[in-house]
Chain A
Amino acid sequence: MSQPLLQIINATKIYGNASSFLSANTQTVALQDFNLTIDEHPATITTIAGESGSGKTTLANAVLGFVNLSSGQILYKGRDIATLQRSKMLEYRREVQAIFQDPYEVYNPFYRVRHIFDMVIRRFKLARNKAEEREVIQQALKIVGLRDEEVLEKYPHQLSGGQRQRMMIARAYLLKPGLIVADEPVSMVDASLRAMILDIMMRLRDEHNISFLYITHDLSTAYQIGNDIHILYQGSIAERGETTQVIENPKHPYVQLLIDSIPVPDPDIKWGEDVEAAGDEKMRSQANSGCRFYPRCPHGMDRCLEKQPPIYQLNGSDHEAACYLYDEMPVAEKRN
């Protein structure tokens, strides 16, 4: 048993203040008791999916060290990242890289794009001289299918969206990370170029042993490349398991609704019955009072209101759903 690469234990993040006698309760639970383990070998692509406001970006920010958890732990190679010393933190920042949604905003428009490489090479002392520098950049660009003379001396606006995103992946690769947190990396890239980015992610996983935490709202791309998937609803896990299993055979009513709503690219297969959009007052249910999906759930039962359902283990070892519909199944153990 090798030690896991990343372990998230009971991660909870609450924004806002608890009620006091002067102010109302302004707390929003962005993430609640979230658990996740990514093994070091083999590398995997783990998807975190959910609609806006589901807590997926909070999770990404927590892993990247941008926000501190309210409770719970994030362990990287067995060490809690909240208590890392400065030098270890630097190492962590090198080993865990990020790719963001908008590949334009991360560039400084005044510098040529090679600046992003020069910066990390200097910061992390990746090369001893010019020749070596050229070597490492070339190698990284080759991985993403770009040639240095084509892109390095250009300004960000002269590159296409796909090229810019591939440059960001090359930059991340340069640091030989163990994990890349990819927050919606393809949602702003054209459909025809999306495949290329996804393919690069798969190659980095398979050929270079780099794991991904793939944050997305798009289940279809997750289905194409992902290993495990965790689907969040308002900060809590709704369903998790092996991606093909979850998407081909969704168990949680929310996940069923989600998958049913993906438009099928065939004019002969139409959406089923009309769905009701939840009104605003229904969307945010009170924290800690039963299942969050209850107001929108077609199967709502009285007990759903009393207490949040535990995560049940469904048939198939690693397919789990947090829904009372499966209460005859065993409750899943906390994975840590």
Chain B
Amino acid sequence: MTVTQNRAVESETSAAREKVLEVKNLRIHYETPRGDVIAVNGINFHVYKGETLGLVGESGCGKSTATAGILRLVQPPGRIVDGEVLLNGVDLLKLNESELRQKRWRDASLIPQGAMNSLNPVMKVKEQIGDGITTHEPGMSRQAVKERILELLTLVGLPSRVYDLYPHELSGGMKQRVCIAMGIALNPSMIIADEPTSALDVVVQRVVAQTLLDVKKKLGVSMILIGHDMGLQAQLVDRIAVMYAGNIVEIAPVRSLFEEPMHPYTQLLIASIPSIKERKPLKITEGLTHDLRNPPPGCIFQFRCPQVMEHCRKITPPLRELKPEHYVACHLYE
């Protein structure tokens, strides 16, 4: 209960809070022979200190690309076309490669999608975690590294015997928690977790999610949590940004978003969560997005929007603050 109370206080005072990350007009394109695919279309958002921001949207909406952009991990044919990514005031997009390497992992770390499969099968857990630590902290003694690793394992709720094990000796949930331990190894101020619990069973998912909450509480780290499971988001995040076809269509504190989703796409996302409390008729939507190479004039959601108006086909709605901290890009509220 205290968690929810804190959360209410937090969102009230957020205007005065420190921003750890600020993303301004980030634009990422993928080059194809028939023109650029606009994967991220000039998005703006920020993450406060100690806050978890959820980033949701269907597959292909650009949420993973956007976060890859933050760490400059976009691979060709993708490229960052424009924008600023301010991490503690420093624009990551302007750094040179060696400066960037210093920032990555130490200041902002990534728990990639399917992280548990990214562990090296022939390296023991201690070596995998130790690798990152010694690269960034070359002066650290062996004993200190070992202590740090054991401390990290405890922090993510793993027994110390995991230290000496190989990845194949761990279950999926345990591997995922090793990846979380790696993510927090250097005390970053920002963690980006890309669907950290997908491909896990509900019970294991719950354990991993609890680990993330725990880590956040103990370290006060900021987090971006990418996902498409609205139920999980409701449990884990403080604010949610909803992405559709490369654009953020709504950002709001989690409570406000679930109580009163304003963008028709957000409404659709929430309505499509299957309930286990009551059987209700399924809400069906045709789901074809426009060609991302060639977005239509006006609102990007016009082809699927049940409340589309003439206006929407001509003018792009800007993201506007309709309630405190609740931003929506939709003509319905003008």
Contacts and interface: CB of A to CB of B under 8 A. Distances in A.
Interface of A: 51-52, 160-162, 190-196, 198-199, 202, 217-221, 223-225, 244, 247, 257-259, 261-268, 270-271, 274-277, 279-280, 283
Given A190-B228, A191-B228, A199 B284 contact: yes
B206 interface: yes
A224 B159 contact: no
A162 B288 CA distance: 9
11 contacts: A51-B201, A192-B268, A193-B58, A195-B284, A195-B285, A199-B282, A219-B276, A220-B275, A224-B280, A275-B210, A280-B169
Given A199-B284, A277-B203, 19 more contacts: A51-B203, A191-B228, A196-B284, A196-B285, A223-B274, A223-B275, A224-B274, A225-B282, A244-B279, A262-B231, A263-B206, A263-B234, A265-B270, A266-B258, A267-B7, A267-B234, A270-B4, A271-B235, A280-B169
B203 A265 contact: no
Contacts of A257: 203
B315 interface: no
B316 interface: no
Nearest to A200: B284
Interface stretch (B80-88, B130-138, B170-178, B181-189): B170-178
Contacts of A225: 282
Nearest to A202: B282
B231 A52 contact: no
A247 B202 CA distance: 15
A52 to B, nearest CB: 6
A245 to B, nearest CB: 12
Contacts of B3: 270
Contact of A220 (B254, B268, B276): B276
B255 interface: yes
Interface residues of B, number: 50
A217 B269 contact: no
Contacts of A279: 159, 174
**Max count, chain B CB within 10 A of own CB: residue among A194, A257, A274, A277:** A277
Contacts of A261: 202-203, 205-206
Contacts of B218: none
A184 to B, nearest CB: 11
Contact of A263 (B235, B258, B268, B287): B235
Interface string B274-316: 1110011011111110000000000000000000000000000
Contacts of A258: 202-203
B59 interface: yes
**Max count, chain A CB within 10 A of own CB: residue among B274, B275, B284, B286:** B274
B330 to A, nearest CB: 17
Contacts of A220: 273-276
A160 B288 contact: yes
Given A162-B287, A223-B279, A268 B4 contact: yes
B160 interface: no
Contacts of A162: 287
B282 A195 contact: yes
Contacts of A271: 206, 209-210, 235
Contacts of A191: 58, 228-230, 269, 272-273
B215 to A, nearest CB: 13
B95 interface: no
Interface in B218-265: 228-235, 254-255, 258
A280 B174 CA distance: 9
Interface string B51-72: 0000000110000000000000
B319 interface: no
A70 B209 CA distance: 39
Contacts of A192: 58, 268-269, 272, 285, 287
6 pairs of A and B residues whose beta carbons are closest in the complex: A263-B231, A220-B274, A51-B201, A195-B282, A190-B58, A277-B207
Nearest to B236: A263
Nearest to B259: A267
Nearest to A150: B288
B204 interface: yes
Contact of B201 (A217, A274, A280): A217
A191 B61 CA distance: 13
Nearest to A145: B286
**Max count, chain A CB within 10 A of own CB: residue among B59, B202, B255:** B202
Nearest to A225: B282
A149 to B, nearest CB: 15
A202 to B, nearest CB: 8
Contacts of A275: 203, 206-207, 210
A258 B268 CA distance: 26
A221 B159 contact: no
Nearest to B208: A277
**Max count, chain A CB within 10 A of own CB: residue among B157, B159, B270, B275:** B275
A270 B268 contact: no
Contact of B255 (A218, A267, A276): A267
Given A261-B206, A280-B171, A280-B174, A194 B201 contact: no
B71 to A, nearest CB: 25
A265 B276 contact: no
B256 to A, nearest CB: 9
Nearest to A243: B279
Given A264-B235, A265-B234, A279-B159, A259 B268 contact: no
